[in-house]
Amino acid sequence: MTEILLFHHAQGLTAGVRAFADELTAAGHTVHLPDLFDGRTFADVESGVDHAREIGFDALLARGVAAADELPNTIVYAGFSMGVMSAQKLAQTRAGTVGALFYESCLPVEEFGAWPEGIPVQIHGGVDDEWFAEDLEFAEKLAGSSPNAELFRYSGTKHLFADSSLTSYDAQAAGLLLERTLSFLADLG
């Protein structure tokens, strides 16, 4: 099965992110969950983003990239929202990338060079998510630039809808996101 490096969102390494990783593990995958906030979690996105600003986004990116140092190169990089920053940089710059999963965020590809030829990516985001709306242009551009890229939109969802420990959780949309993720991972093997 597939090895995955999964980065948490701005509210930290929550029970919901851990539960999502457990679902992937139950399907036979190996999931690595670095904690870029050293155990801290936050009640809302804004507080988490404030904490990320205090640490510095460049420092968080460096922590994320360093989390891959001891892992094999043949890996899938995944991230929720803020975690996409590290996942996307690694997917675009680290040799051996198998695939990428971007949940509720996408940066301009140009941030890290060009999208690597032949590397599959799924991008998932809510139609009504104001945070993802800021990244939609970048997600659409990436999805339109590669035959190996897919963009999925989920109606009626709030930001971080796949985190079962948050009030924004949407069980139906999260179930579909997980189903699509597992199909993506199965296609890699």
Q: What is the pTM of this model?
A: 0.97
Q: Residue 108 — very low, low, confident or very high, per pLDDT cuts 50/70/90? A: very high
Give strand pairing partners of 78: 6, 101
Rounded-to-integer distance, Cα 102 and Cα 161, Å: 13
DSSP annotation string for 72-119: -SS-EEEEEGGGHHHHHHHHHHSTT--EEEEES----GGGGSSPPTT-
pLDDT over 80 at 161, yes or no: yes
- Rounded mean pLDDT of the chain? 96
pLDDT given at position 178: 98
pLDDT over 90 at 1, yes or no: no
pLDDT given at position 59: 95
pLDDT over 80 at 104, yes or no: yes
Q: Check if the beta carbon of residue 104 is closer than 8 Å to that of residue 133.
A: no
Any idea which residue has 């939609």 for tokens?
Answer: 136
pLDDT over 90 at 13, yes or no: yes
List domains and CATH numbers for the chain: 3-188 (3.40.50.1820)
Neighbours of 23 (CB within 10 A): 16
Q: Using only the alpha carbons of the chain, give its radius of gyration.
A: 15
pLDDT over 80 at 189, yes or no: no
pLDDT given at position 100: 98
